[in-house]
Amino acid sequence: MKIAIRHIRRDRGVALLLALVSVLALSMIAAALYQASQPSWDESTLARARYQAGLLAESGLNLALHPDIDEGDIALRHQPVPGRGWEVRITSEGGRFPINSMTNDTLRAAAVELFVIWGLDAAAASRVADSIADWIDDDSDPLPNGAENEWYASLGHPQFPANAPFTSLEQLPFVAGMEALEQVQPFWREQFTIRSDGLIDFNAASREIIQAVTGATEDAAANLVAIRDGEDGIWGTEDDYRFRELSEVQSILGISNAQWSTFADLVTVAGTVRRVESIGRVGDFTERRVIIAEQTTVDNRTVLRPLARFRE
């Protein structure tokens, strides 16, 4: 009888041990499954947030294209619910430097000044400017500091230059001298354009571009930008001041008529190509959508006709 009881107790002990081992094993399996699924869950959450942010950015673009919406309209900054919304800026593409117009001697000289302001020495700045012009002109004769096919072929790129306008800013890194420019201005893509009307728009251009094109002092160009950006000091908001006449700009910059005449055909206060940037936000996640559009008049109403659409 005592032997039977000992067997029963031993069996129960084994069963309890097996149960504990099983529970431990199941716990380890559950933990492993949780850890394995966590990255997928996180990726799914991120994908949903970005998708929703993209939809909000598209909503902002659609609103901005409405004929009754003006630059700086409060509707362009909207949160339907806390933590979710869009922020849209409508500005002139003429605020960026038109690189496809750099066969113009005056504009190319302004580009040299711009690159020097960014930090290049005069020789390196002239190398980049002349090489950009050589890339887009229709001949094979290099400018004094430029580069044509012979130079590119020596580096194993006989297909360069295109001898045609740039179709993408991503072609620029192949231009002779651009490596040096990238080192002093890594955000050069935000300063160049291939889609504007070719004119520098004072209502959108940076202080550096204004200074380079006009020859104005740094203080004068900064003062112009400060007036334009309004009391909040933020470009593209409701309190911005819009210049209506070039004479007003000339007066603020303190430029003589003789000096102004040297670049008068390169500047405007009424660029015809608009840049619409919409940022959709969901919590900490953002998505950006951009439309480049031509401003035109239809039935006595100003409308924007899209020329290009892309993500940034």
Does 23 or 233 have the greater pLDDT score? 233
Per residue in 98-116, pLDDT (tens digit) is 999 999 999 999 999 999 9
Higher pLDDT among residues 44 and 67, named by residue: 67
Instruction: Indicate if the pLDDT at residue 235 is higher than 80.
Output: no
Give the model's confidence band at 302: pLDDT under 50 very low, under 70 low, under 90 confident, else very high.
Answer: confident
Q: Are 124 and 180 in contact (CB under 8 A)?
A: yes
Q: Is the pLDDT of residue 88 over 60?
A: yes
Residue 19: which pLDDT band, with cuts at 50, 70 and 90? low
Q: Are 285 and 46 in contact (CB under 8 A)?
A: yes
Domain limits, the chain: 99-187
Q: Which of 14-18, 252-256, 274-278, 297-301 has the lowest mean pLDDT?
A: 14-18
- pLDDT band of residue 11 (cuts 50, 70, 90) is low
**Does residue 279 surpass a pLDDT of 80?**
yes
Taking residues 164-184, what's their average pLDDT?
A: 97
- The three-state DSSP-derived secondary structure of the chain is CHHHHHHHHHHHHHHHHHHHHHHHHHHHHHHHHHHHHHHHHHHHHHHHHHHHHHHHHHHHHHHHCCCCCCCCCHHHEEEEECCEEEEEEEEEHHHCEEHHHCCCHHHHHHHHHHHHHHCCCHHHHHHHHHHHHHHHCCCCCCCCCCCCHHHHHHCCCCCCCCCCCCCCHHHHHHCCCHHHHHHHCCCHHHCEECCCCCCEECCCCCHHHHHHHHCCCHHHHHHHHHHHHCCCCCCCCCCCCCCCCHHHHHHHHCCCHHHHHCCHHHEECCCCEEEEEEEEEECCEEEEEEEEEEEEEECCEEEEEEEEEEEC
Question: Does 185 have pLDDT greater than 90?
Answer: yes
CATH superfamily of 99-187: EpsJ-like (1.10.40.60)
Q: Which segment of 1-5, 58-62, 89-93 scores lowest on mean pLDDT? A: 1-5
Q: Name the band, by pLDDT with cuts 50, 70 and 90, for residue 203.
A: very high
Residue 240, pLDDT score: 86
pTM comes to 0.81
Q: What pLDDT was estimated at residue 177?
A: 97
Q: Say whether pLDDT at 165 is over 70.
A: yes
Least confident of 3-17, 87-101, 200-214: 3-17
Specify whether the backbone of 236 is left (phi greater than 0), alpha (psi in -120 to 50) or beta. Answer: left
Cα–Cα distance, 220 to 211 (Å, whole number): 8
Mean pLDDT of 296-310: 87
Q: Report the C-alpha gap between 287 and 38 in whole angstroms.
A: 24
pLDDT reported for residue 72: 75
